[in-house]
């Protein structure tokens, strides 16, 4: 499976501001970067730094009056299909050290507030079967409204029962952590997302590995490309502005290539 990814960002700045971009697909064991180019139109130096847990890359830029960025990539997805229901959970005492932070509450994921709900609603389930039950519940309970939940937190989404992909991911991650399953938020590029945009899913630690789960049901986790991972949406945002800005234009296109020979015409090498 190969994806052609094209992103165009055009923002204006009333006052100079530092900008942290996170738009490049991550090179990982199950997704290979065949070609990519990030072009940032700026008079200031650009500095790249690693993403959370060393996954992906962030880029510091400087916005003065106007900041335009273009990203193009071809990514090969090499992710085998997994029967999630067959995977076992790891007792918390046996979890790898690097997964522990994804077991705890964070700013927008109040997992400790969902422990009673999870125990009551999903009694008798464990491991992958529990994870699928949590994802199915979120998909059925939340309405995709095109408008983010008022507070951006899992608790707000649970109360309002509406939101966008970020809210679905927050709630699923909160429920998984409440069920003692390490879970993190993941920014991805996914074909078929409507409207086309940056997309957010969850990733759960089961059977000794991380597994992608999209509670919105819009993305096939076998053909999406990770950009960044983190505790919640604050760590996976495609753009963090240390100041104020306004949007001129933003487009995200993710296209599945029909065969191994096809190349996107607009790729910049």
Sign of the CA dihedral with 68 first, then 35, 191, and 81 last: negative
Which tokens belong to 111? 């997992």
> In DSSP terms, which residues pair with 38 in a beta bridge?
71
Strand, coil or helix: 128: helix
Q: Using CA atoms, how far apart are residues 219 and 198, in angstroms rounded to an integer?
A: 12
The predicted model scores a pTM of 0.93
pLDDT tens digits for range 188-220: 999 999 889 999 999 999 999 999 999 999 999
Q: Where are the chain's structural domains? A: 2-78+238-256, 84-235
- Domain made up of 2-78+238-256: CATH architecture: Sandwich (2.60)
Q: Using CA atoms, how far apart are residues 79 and 58, in angstroms rounded to an integer?
A: 24
Q: Using CA atoms, how far apart are residues 45 and 49, in angstroms rounded to an integer?
A: 13
Confidence bin at 152 (pLDDT 50/70/90): confident
Q: What is the pLDDT of residue 267?
A: 45
CATH code, residues 84-235: 3.10.620.30
pLDDT at 262 over 70: no
Which tokens belong to 256? 């599945």
Q: Are 50 and 57 in contact (CB under 8 A)?
A: yes
């Amino acid at each position: 499976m190969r994806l052609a990814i094209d992103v165009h960002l055009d923002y204006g700045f009333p006052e100079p501001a530092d900008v942290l971009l996170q738009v490049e697909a991550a090179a990982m064991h199950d997704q290979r970067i065949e070609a990519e180019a990030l072009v940032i139109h700026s008079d200031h130096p650009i500095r790249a730094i690693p993403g959370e847990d060393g996954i992906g890359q962030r880029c510091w830029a400087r916005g003065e009056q106007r900041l335009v960025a273009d990203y193009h990539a071809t990514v090969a997805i090499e992710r085998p299909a997994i029967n999630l229901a067959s995977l076992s959970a790891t007792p918390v005492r046996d979890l790898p050290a690097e997964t522990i932070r994804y077991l705890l509450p964070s700013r927008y994921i109040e997992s400790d507030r969902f422990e009673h709900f999870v125990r009551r609603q999903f009694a008798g389930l464990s491991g992958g079967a529990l994870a699928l039950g949590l994802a199915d519940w979120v998909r059925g309970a939340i309405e995709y409204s095109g408008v983010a939940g008022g507070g951006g937190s899992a608790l707000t989404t649970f109360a309002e029962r509406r939101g966008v992909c970020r809210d679905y991911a927050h709630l699923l991650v909160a429920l998984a952590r409440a069920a003692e399953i390490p879970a993190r938020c993941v920014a991805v590029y996914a074909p078929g997302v409507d409207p086309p945009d940056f997309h957010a899913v969850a990733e759960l630690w089961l059977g000794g590995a991380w597994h992608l789960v999209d509670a919105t049901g819009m993305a096939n986790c076998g053909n999406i490309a990770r950009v960044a991972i983190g505790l919640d949406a604050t760590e996976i945002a495609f753009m963090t502005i240390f100041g104020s800005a306004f949007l001129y234009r933003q487009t995200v296109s993710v296209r599945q290539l029909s065969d191994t020979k096809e190349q996107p015409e607009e790729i910049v090498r």
